[in-house]
Amino acid sequence: MTTSRSSDIALERKGVNTTRRNFLKNMSLVGGGLVVGLPVTGCANVLLPNAHESVLQPNALLQITSDNVVNFYLPRSEMGQGIYTGLTTIVGEELDLDPQQINVINAGLHEDYKNTEFKLQVTGGSNSIRTHFLPLRHLAANARLVIRQAAAQQLNLNLADIQTDNGKIMIKGKALDYGEFADYANTLPFPEDAPLKDKHEFKYIGKDNRRLDGVAKATGTAQFGIDVDFEGLCGAALKRCPIMGGTVKSFNDSDAKGMPGVKSIVKIHNGVAVVADHYYQAKNALPKLKIQWNLPKTLSKFSSDSTAADNGKGLFKTALDSDNATNVFEKGDGLTALKHAHTVISAEYWAPYLAHATMEPMNCTAKLADNRLELWVGCQSPELAKNLAAYYAHVPAENIIIHSTFLGGGFGRRSESDFVAEAAAIARASNLPIKLCWSREDDLQNDSYRPASMARFTVSLNKAGLIDSWTVKRAGPQLMPYAIDNVVDGIMPSILPNSLVDWMSKAGYRLYNSLLVDHTSVEGLYEDYDAPHKSSDHVTADPGLPVGAWRSVGHSYSGFFKESMMDEIAALQNQDSVDFRLKHLKNNPKLANVLKVAAEKAAWNKGLPKGHYQGVAVHASFSSFVAQIAQVSVVNNQLFVHRVVCAIDCGLAINPGIVKAQMESGIIDGLSAALYGEITLQDGVVQQSNYHDYPALRIHKSPEIDVVIIDSDEAPTGVGEPGLPPIAAAVANAIFAATGTRLRSLPLKLEG
Amino acid sequence: MISFELNGKTTEVTVAPDTALLWVVRDHLKLKGSKFGCGMGLCGACSMLIDGESTRTCVLPMAAIQGRKVTTIEGIGTPDMLSTLQSAWVEASVAQCGYCQSGQLVSATALLRKNSNPSDNEIDEAMSGNICRCGTYPNIKKAIKQAAKDLGEDSGQLQMVAYFDPNSIQQEA
């Protein structure tokens, strides 16, 4: 992964401190070189590898060592979405170095790695490429310039004569490694305004590059959190309350103690943990624990299939019918418009709780020694993880070191740090270095679920058959109160006693829910289409099951709701689904364009095989615009999804292959949810436990997928999530075309 | 004591006979390429070749392994010596999160060993035991077909490793 050192060219130089360089080499340290990054504070609690500890490190993203190793410390978490390759491509482009030759390191914690939008070190919101596009280009362009300046000064040449080509300084037909000039460059002021390349100069951006993590992931050598191992590391398993939020009243571990390999049994905040020589031994001992639980009051009463007005779907329906809603968006005068409407159409939709079911179960390794906690974890929010771990391990946050790994899937699940908190608590209570691993059952039954949601649309049309008013009300839990509950523990100053922090986090839930609406609750329900009058309301209906960000967050249900509604209106008006949408996208040209492109690519309603039907859906999310057309057949009430055409406008596609893969990924993930996904509860207990009752789409059900990426010069936007929201509606609308049956609930179930 | 062949090397372990092969390979023998996904043989992340057949090892007791040949992802190819299938996988940039990929490659290797030119339906059938939550299925199909083509042109090998030295492992973090 490193460029070879060119030493065959002897050029006279000035100002190289060879003594220091040799000293460092002899010490087997790579101390010389250039360490640059975005300008931030020096509050580093992690010393970068590959740097001598005496070297001042104000910045932490990029290193060019005098040994000509270019290290890029990946500030975001790679969970499949491709930023390991994408961000490195951006760096390589302006550095003029093949990204394949850049050594990418999953970064630990550092101020420089903060997500500029969230102001925390968090990966999410499909914003990694979007927010890093310019800063990383400037960083790399400035680094390339300072290397050129160093070369010019050392070789007594004009800067204009110093050109670069793939990591080499080119002089008179000869090539010298960047690393040759790294030491000297480090003595120069770091430039701030090196010009950026024009699009037509790009060598790597916009090209089909191989993924940089491809070899490691094809050979089983990519390290995930679950693969972390060292001498003396014990395996830990945790028995939690069958109803989330419950705590241990009392327990008896006499039968578990004698199980093979068991070393320690400890009670923590949410359960009883067994620590053993190996994880499988700890897991085997769990059933031997006898635990009495304090059950959570609210959630224990909830059953998904209850028909009562205050339970099951009735809880949501009652909320919708109530007058308690909070208005989130208002434009025009919808009530008056309704009075004068020519036609009014109303419909209700439902989307259930969903689990993330990442392939890699949650896990975290924790080693506590000398009031210092080391964590090894693949997570989306290492900064919150650190703070929560500090709270649960009773260690100052500055004494925590996080080693980041690849993530075996994220989808939002790993933005939560509950499993890190558990690992920290077990390490503290057992005084052993432990790797906590969750079973699949733990994973499906202790998630931060996609909130179940019910929505009611009331849409009025004018005489011309165009939408006059668009009113929508959504009932369901909100994410933010749960996030506050989790986050407050992690962000409060450590001088506050834990009991006060606990009180604040619980109070935060109630305060938030009674005063504020989290925008993710309603996002995507009302924005996309033209209407003179619009109104969107939210009302909280919350059985008490923890909820969190699930790939595309609110859009994961609003895409289905809104696009099904639009299809219903078009059908009732006997209008073509594509034409009717286009009539209402005059103010949304990018969404209109992807719709036209997808319709053309899919040969919308032209010459389909016998028995095949199409359905369309469009949705804007994470600053990107996506249209999808699903082609299905229904035979004896069996649904087959044959083909999906997808068009996306995500601005400039950094790696078109990854954009295409993310569209396929969003569609397949969205199909799992559309066809199967449903978490249900019985008296508060999650009923699903593994992939047999919470299935994921398998290869033989996976449709042919054609992706069109709109050619664009605009700055890049999100791709990890926007491919998901339209697919459920595209399939449901195709089912309507095939059968005349309108399915308003997810998952889509054809009556047998 | 249970004796079996792991990646070309005779291996002996002393564990409870009902211990699943996956945990012995991962925790006792320290080969981390095979993954734990479901513990019920449903997802395929733990797949290994047992006498050439792709097998779910999270539910396979060691007692059933005595005297048999076990090949893990580490025994198929290495970063420096990719099998033809692994090369096709890298070229097609199949992996996303990557967690299920060892299992996918094991199942695809077993398929190509038996069927040098699988149809779409045959690929579906052979690979339907392996879940990928990232949805890499379109690229999996592409890579399997490319590898079949390359192997058919006699320009590759399904398995590059005759004997795997566990001390050679380097994980990329």
Q: Do A226 and B77 count as a contact with CB atoms less than 8 A apart?
A: no
Mean pLDDT of A375-379: 97
3-state DSSP assignment of residue B173? coil
Hey, which residues 143-162 in chain B have their CB within 8 Å of chain A? none
pLDDT score for B166 = 76
Say whether A213 and B95 touch across the interface (CB within 8 A).
yes
Q: Which of A104-108, A624-628, A690-694, B124-128 has the lowest mean pLDDT?
A: A104-108
Helical residues (DSSP H) of A548-617, grouped into ranges: 555-572, 577-583, 589-601
Q: Which residues of A touch B23 (CB under 8 A)?
A: 278-280
Which chain A residue has its CA at the smallest distance from B20's CA? A280
Residue A426 pLDDT > 70: yes
Q: Which residues contact A170 (CB under 8 A, 6 or more apart)?
A: A162, A163, A164
Please report residues of A whose CB lies closer than 8 A to that of B33.
219-221
**DSSP 8-state assignment for residue B25:** I
Q: What is the pLDDT of residue A117?
A: 87
Question: Cβ B171–A222 below 8 Å, yes or no?
Answer: yes
**Interchain CB distance below 8 Å, B32 and A229:** yes
> What percentage of chain A carries pLDDT values higher than 90?
79
Whether A39 has a pLDDT exceeding 50, the answer reads no
Q: Could you say which residues from 100 to 119 on chain A have a Cβ atom under 8 Å away from some Cβ of chain B?
A: 105-106
pLDDT score for A66: 83
Give me the domains of chain A, ranges plus CATH numbers: 18-218 (3.30.365.10), 233-297+362-437 (3.30.365.10), 315-353+451-478+517-739 (3.30.365.10)
In the predicted model, what is the mean pLDDT of chain A? 90
Our CA-based measurement puts residue A652 at a distance from the nearest CA of chain B, in whole angstroms, of 20
| CA A191 to centroid of chain Cα atoms | 33
What is the amino acid identity at position A485? Answer: D
Question: Is A367 a residue whose pLDDT tops 80?
Answer: yes
CB contact under 8 A, B131 and A411: no
| Partners of residue B101 in chain A, C-beta under 8 Å | 217-218, 220
**Token code pair at residue A66:** 């005098």
Residue A43 has pLDDT above 80, yes or no: no
Residues of B in contact with A217 (CB under 8 A): 95, 98, 101
Mark yes or no for CB contact B97/A409 under 8 Å. yes
Contact A456, A539 (CB under 8 A): no
Q: Do A665 and B96 touch (CB under 8 A)?
A: yes
Report yes or no: A411 and A551 within 8 Å, Cβ to Cβ.
yes
State the pairing for strand pair A400-404/A434-437: unpaired
Residue of B nearest to A355 (CA): B133
> Which strand (E) or helix (H) includes residue A5?
none
Contact check, Cβ <8 Å, B97/A405:
no
Pairwise CA distance, residues A383 & A707, whole Å? 36
Among A92-96, A448-452, A503-507, A713-717, the minimum mean pLDDT is found in A503-507
Q: Sort out which chain A residues have CB atoms less than 8 A from B40's CB and list them.
A: 440, 690-692
- A514's CB contacts (< 8 A; 6+ apart) are none
Confirm whether the ipTM is greater than 0.95: yes
In this structure, are residues B130 and B100 in contact, taking their beta carbons and an 8 Å threshold?
Answer: yes
Whole-Å CA distances, A328 to A332, A452, B16: 14, 19, 60
* A46 has pLDDT over 70: no
> Which one of A219, A402, A640 makes the best mutation probe of the B interface by having the most chain B beta carbons within 10 Å?
A219
Residue A638 sits at the vertex; the CA angle it makes with A635 and A639, to the nearest 5 degrees, is 95
- Using a CB-CB distance cutoff of 8 angstroms, which residues of chain A are in contact with residue B98? 80, 213, 216-217, 222, 224, 406, 408
Question: Between chains, do B27 and A220 touch, taking CB under 8 Å as contact?
Answer: no
Please, which residues bridge with residue A354 across strands?
A450
Question: Any chain A CB within 8 A of the CB of B135?
Answer: yes
What's the Cα-to-Cα distance from A666 to each of A244, A380, A475, A691, rounded to whole Å? 29, 18, 25, 19
Q: How far apart are CA A592 and CA A382, in angstroms?
A: 39
As a whole number, mean pLDDT of residues A11-18 equals 39
Q: What is the DSSP string of A144-186?
A: HHHHHHHHHHHHT--GGG-EEETTEEEETTEEEEGGGGHHHHT
Give me the pLDDT at residue B167, please: 75
In the numeric block, which tokens belong to residue A242?
């069958």
- Give the contacts of A579 (CB within 8 A, at least 6 positions apart): none
Q: How far apart, in Å, do the first and last CA atoms of chain B sit?
A: 34
Give the pLDDT of residue B169.
73
| % of chain A with per-residue pLDDT over 70 | 88
Q: Is A159 exposed, middle or buried (0-12, 13-18, 19+ CB in 10 A)?
A: exposed
Rounded to whole angstroms, what are the CA distances from A748 to A313, A727, B90?
16, 12, 36
The reported pLDDT for the residue numbered A172 is: 81
Residue positions counted in chain B: 173
Q: Are A100 and A172 in contact (CB under 8 A)?
A: no
Q: Which chain B residue lies closest to A439 (C-alpha atoms)? A: B38
Q: Which residues of A680-716 are buried (b: 16+ CB within 10 A; e: fewer)?
A: bbeebbbbbbbbeebbbbbbebbbebbbbbbeeeeeb
Nearest CA in chain B to A363: B36
Q: Which of A338-342, A373-377, A648-652, A741-745 has the lowest mean pLDDT?
A: A338-342
pLDDT value, residue A41: 31
- pLDDT given for residue A15 in this prediction: 38
Phi, psi at residue B14, to the nearest 5°? -115, 100
A280 to chain B: closest CA residue: B23
Interchain contact, A211 vs B128, CB within 8 Å = no
- pLDDT band, very low/low/confident/very high, at B173 (cuts 50, 70, 90): low
Residues of A in contact with B35 (CB under 8 A): 224, 226, 359-360, 408
Q: Answer yes or no: do A229 and B137 touch at CB < 8 A.
A: no
Q: Do A667 and B131 touch (CB under 8 A)?
A: no
Q: Examine the pLDDT at A12 and tell me if it is beyond 70.
A: no
pLDDT recorded at residue A24: 29
| Nearest residue of B to residue A360, measured between CA atoms | B37
Q: Is the pLDDT of residue A33 over 60?
A: no
The Cα–Cα gap between A659 and A648 comes to 9
pLDDT at A183: 86
Q: Which of A221, A358, A443, A641 to mutate to test the interface with B (most CBs of B within 10 A)?
A: A221
pLDDT at A51: 57
Judge whether A699 is closer than 8 Å to chain B, CB to CB. yes
Question: Are A67 and B121 a contacting pair, CB within 8 Å?
Answer: no
Q: Which carries the bigger pLDDT value, residue A678 or residue A8?
A: A678
Quote the percentage of chain B above a pLDDT of 90.
Answer: 88
Q: So what's the pLDDT on residue A610?
A: 96
Question: What tokens were used for A8?
Answer: 């065959």
The verdict on a CB contact (< 8 Å) between A218 and B86 is yes
Q: What is the mean pLDDT of residues A116-139?
A: 92
Q: Do the Cβ atoms of B97 and A406 come within 8 Å?
A: yes
| Radius of gyration of chain B, Cα coordinates, nearest whole angstrom | 15
Average pLDDT over residues A164-173: 91
- Both tokens of residue B43? 């997802």
Does the distance separating the beta carbons of A221 and B33 come in below 8 Å? yes
* Residue in B73, B100, B135 nearest the CB of A664: B135
Q: Do B32 and A220 touch (CB under 8 A)?
A: yes
Domains and CATH numbers, chain B: 2-75 (3.10.20.30), 84-152 (1.10.150.120)
The DSSP secondary structure of A273-340, one letter per residue, reads EEEESSHHHHHHHGGG-EEEEE--HHHHT--TT--STTSHHHHHHHHHHSS--EEEEEES-HHHHHHT
Q: Which residue has the tokens 């389909």?
A: A608
Both tokens of A407, joined, read: 């993530």
A415 vs A272: CA distance, rounded Å: 24
With 60 as the cut, is the pLDDT of residue A47 above it? no
B 65-124 residues with CB below 8 A of A?
A: 72-74, 77-79, 82, 86, 89-91, 93-102, 105, 123-124
> Which of A77, A233, A280 would you mutate first to test chain B, the one with the most B CBs within 10 A?
A280
pLDDT of residue A744: 98
What do you get for the CA distance between the two ends of chain A, in Å?
Answer: 56
Confirm or reject contact between A608 and chain B (CB < 8 A). Answer: no
Residues β-bridged to residue B172: A222
Name which residue leads in pLDDT, B168 or A623: A623
Give residues 180 to 239 of A whose Cβ lies within 8 Å of B.
210-211, 213-224, 226-227, 229, 235
Please state, in angstroms and rounded to a whole number, the distance separating the CA atoms of residues A511 and A516: 8
Q: In 3-state terms, what secondary structure has residue A3?
A: coil
- Give residue-wise pLDDT tens across range A524-557: 999 999 999 999 999 999 999 999 999 999 999 9
Which 3 state secondary structure label does DSSP give B65?
coil
pLDDT given at position A510: 67
pLDDT for A17 equals 38
Q: Is the pLDDT assigned to residue A497 strictly greater than 70? A: no
Which positions 329-368 of A are in contact with B (Cβ < 8 Å)?
Answer: 357-361
Query: Comparing A1-15, A136-150, A212-226, which segment has the lowest mean pLDDT?
Result: A1-15
pLDDT > 80? residue A512: no
For A83, residues 6+ apart whose C-beta sits below 8 A from its C-beta are A74, A76, A123, A128, A129
State residue B162's pLDDT score.
80
How far is it, in rounded angstroms, from Cα A397 to Cα A399?
5
Q: In chain B, which residues have their Cβ closer than 8 Å to the Cβ of A278?
A: 23, 27-28
